[in-house]
Amino acid sequence: MNGVVVAVSRSGAHTIVKRNEFSIRLRTGLGVDGDVHQGVTVKHRYHMSKDPTQPNLRQVHLIHEELHDELRGNGFDVHPGQMGENVTTRGVDILGLPRGTKLHLGESAVIEITGLRSPCSLLDKIQQGLMAATLDVAPDGSKIRKSGVMAVVLADGDVRAGDAIRVELPPLPHVKLEKV
């Protein structure tokens, strides 16, 4: 289950849309250089208001390009970086990965999946109805969050569009992703 990086993005301000870049630099234990969410402690405004000392489990946000395909098929005009992700992927079922999965990006960067991103109402500022379009209901009635996964950086590295993604699953038993 290997894939490819479609695009990389970052923003130095708290905006939902992140600008596409030629490359981004991932820093161990911190996140994306120049991104507002970079840091050891949480940088998401909502989570900071609750407890600014909690560890930052949301250093890198990934969305699968297959979600963009689905959304475009439903009439939404979405592109890499527009939904706040740092890394847009293709060919990896990122939502189906267990917690603790390591993704090797490019030559040296390694990130570890910490959980699901819960879509927020800011998505509706991009296009009305976008937040609801990133949610679904499982047969058991539970919520399916499709707006990507969050990760922490385990090893430094530059990441760019076209880089390979190698998946390294954690030891069994696997733990299902939950929102972080």
Domain membership flag for residue 48:
yes
Domain membership flag for residue 38:
yes
171 Cβ contact list (under 8 Å, min separation 6): none
Residues 83-139 pLDDT 10s: 999 999 999 999 999 999 999 999 999 999 999 998 888 899 999 999 999 999 999
Domain membership flag for residue 146:
yes
Domain membership flag for residue 149:
yes
Res. 38: pLDDT tops 70: yes
- Say what percent of the chain tops pLDDT 70: 99
CATH number of the domain within which 162 lies: 2.40.33.20
CA-based nearest residue to 14, from 49, 51, 55, 66: 49
Q: What is the pLDDT of residue 99?
A: 98
CA 26, CA 1: separation in Å to the nearest integer?
Answer: 22
Give the domain extent around 160: 3-168
Res. 44: pLDDT tops 90: no
36-56: average pLDDT: 90
The kind and range of the H/E element at 66 are helix 65-73
Beta bridge partners of 164: 4
CA-based nearest residue to 92, from 73, 65, 52: 65
Q: What is the pLDDT of residue 1?
A: 65
Rg of the chain over CA atoms, in angstroms?
A: 15
Longest Cα–Cα distance of the chain, Å, equals 42
User: Could you give the number of structural domains in the chain?
Assistant: 1
Domain membership flag for residue 99:
yes
Q: What is the pLDDT of residue 128?
A: 97
Domain membership flag for residue 178:
no
Domain membership flag for residue 175:
no
Domain membership flag for residue 111:
yes
Residues 50-90 pLDDT 10s: 888 999 999 999 999 999 999 999 999 999 999 999 999 99
Query: For the whole model, what pTM was predicted?
Result: 0.96
148-166: average pLDDT: 98
